[in-house]
Copies of this chain bind each other. A is one copy, B any other.
Amino acid sequence: MCRMARPRKPLLNRDRIAQAALALIDAEGLAALSTRRLAAELGVSGPSLYNHFATKEAILDAAADTVVAQVDLSMFGGRGPGPGAGANGTRDSGAGAGSGASGGDWPDALLAWGRSYRAALADHPHIVPFLATGPGLRPAGLRMADAVFGGMVDAGWPPAHATRIGALMRYFVTGSALGSFAGGFVGDAAAYDPADYPHLGQAHLLAGHREQVDLGAFETGLRALIDGLALQFQVLRTADR
């Protein structure tokens, strides 16, 4: 038998594909991602991708997971980003060396996590509809759910409540990263007939402050959410004794 010169370095691997997919989505939107287009971007023929991923959806899953892997979880006493997070560290990992949310500082942990979570998604807005719809079975998503649940239980929340907190925070953050509220209004004053929409007279001004409005609403909502949970926490604690 002749020896084959075959092991001449594969052109593709899963990381390279997921990375290129995310870059393409960031640049041109979810709809621009086709397997053929992605393959071309990687200098390869369309069907080649199927040697590394079973379906296009699996490629999207991998891309989405790299986004969630960027969320800072250190405030829950976790061990930084997991094994799949690659070279770059977490984002927004301010404050002291990961001491965890012991005692009563779960509201601060929730606040910091919520901001980091939103920032990670806002960096890649076009993949959020896919990311938010999907089942969340992806490793980084599970790691996040694990850290939040553990952090809330450690802080004194009953397990059933800790689960709900993880869920409701996910609702709010994905919802806020998904669609712009302010961006839903057009910058033309004549667009909103007072007869149809009596209170929308100033709505056209929102278009010019898109990011401010959306960030302000996010911050207001996040604080309200945490304040409201703190109220319920008090009720639980006093009922305890």
Contacts and interface: CB of A to CB of B under 8 A. Distances in A.
Given A141-B184, A225-B225, A227-B231, A179 B220 contact: no
A217 interface: yes
Contacts of A226: 224, 228
Q: How large is the interface on A (under 10, 10 to 19, 20 to 34, 35 or more residues)?
A: 35 or more
Given A134-B179, A135-B184, A183-B135, A199 B129 contact: no
Given A145-B184, A171-B172, 15 more contacts: A135-B184, A136-B184, A142-B197, A145-B203, A146-B200, A164-B213, A165-B217, A167-B221, A171-B178, A171-B217, A171-B218, A220-B232, A224-B227, A225-B228, A228-B228
A167 B227 contact: no
A168 B224 contact: yes
As for how many copies of this chain the complex holds, the number is: 2
Contact of A163 (B146, B147, B174, B206): B206
A184 B227 CA distance: 27
B166 A181 contact: yes
Interface in A148-174: 149-150, 153, 159, 161, 163-168, 170-174
